[in-house]
Chain A
Amino acid sequence: MVKNTFIFLLLVATAFIFIHLFAGFSGNQDLNPIAKYYATNGPAEVGSANLVTAVVVTYRGLDTLGEVTILFLSAAIVGFFLKIENTDNKNRPLKYVSEILNTASQILVPIMMLFGIYVFINGHLSPGGGFQGGAIIASSIVLMFIAQPKKEIGHKLITVIESISGLSFVLLGVAGIFLASGFLDNSILPLGKFGTLFSAGIIPVIYIFVGLKVGSELTGIALSLKENQNEA
């Protein structure tokens, strides 16, 4: 009874806060100064057709580096705590995988992987980017894990891809200090023609590395959890 009263009071208090916010809401008619700067000068300075990418990779590139680092840290912690002691994964009793799932996965996995690569290579032209493409690639590999549980993917391969792409991302950022005006500056490469694949300077290259890194990290988390299923 006391508990229910407390929950009710909490709900009423939350509703009170949100009613104030809702009553005082009036939609913004124009952009704030920073957004206006990005919207007017972004295409000329960065050369990216997708303005979100221009903000994420160039204007706020350091934040992206921080996000990638956080993801790396969480993947490393999952890998550390789920260390594999006995690897006799083949003796694990497996449930029967349905024919529909098996056949569908054989058709869907390559298409999903291609779509993920398309999303991060075209990150500066169409919606999406490194994070989204990497997540789509990781989902395709997880679908493969579900459909074919006996399939093995080496931890070493994933670690190597992740390390190389992370290192390249940071090195490209450092190269901006020497060749252009600052860390993660995108004018190392020529800006090119607006709206074509080879444009927007270094953004496509950085997004390829971010996509590979995110994809391998998320795959690594799922792989650690999958290989830990048989332990008591």
Chain B
Amino acid sequence: MIYQILALFLGILMVVLAVMAVQNKNIVVAIIAAGAVSLFASVLYLILAAPDVAMTEAAIGSGLSTVIFFYVLNKIKRQNG
């Protein structure tokens, strides 16, 4: 029961953050929100008994891809003056 409530809470949080990532005008906030979606998704995978997938999601989805997005954002900002 407690796991179901936790999973539901994480799912709602992920949807809210995903909407935030799409709708927010500030790109930095949007990138952080997209990374947070991955972070909560990895916790959800752990609850659903898939620790292998959770590790990949936490390391690649919320760690590396967020940093790569920031590198690309920085480069685009530089190119546009």
Contact = CB atoms under 8 A, between A and B. Distances in A.
A222 B51 contact: no
Interface in B30-81: 51-52, 55-56, 59-60, 63-64, 67-68, 71-72, 74-75, 78-79
A175 interface: no
A127 B63 CA distance: 19
Interface string A127-165: 111011001101100100010000000000000000000
Contact of A225 (B55, B63, B71): B71
Contacts of A146: 67
Contacts of B67: 142, 146, 222
Interface string A189-232: 00000000000000000000000000000100110011011011
A52 interface: yes
Nearest to A228: B75
A171 B19 CA distance: 47
Which secondary structure characterizes the binding site on chain A? helix
Interface residues of A, number: 22
Contacts of B55: 119, 127-128, 132, 135-136
A135 B75 contact: no
Contacts of A229: 71, 74-75, 78
A139 B39 CA distance: 14
A120 to B, nearest CB: 11
Interface of B: 51-52, 55-56, 59-60, 63-64, 67-68, 71-72, 74-75, 78-79
Given A132-B56, A135-B59, 5 more contacts: A127-B51, A127-B55, A128-B52, A128-B55, A228-B75
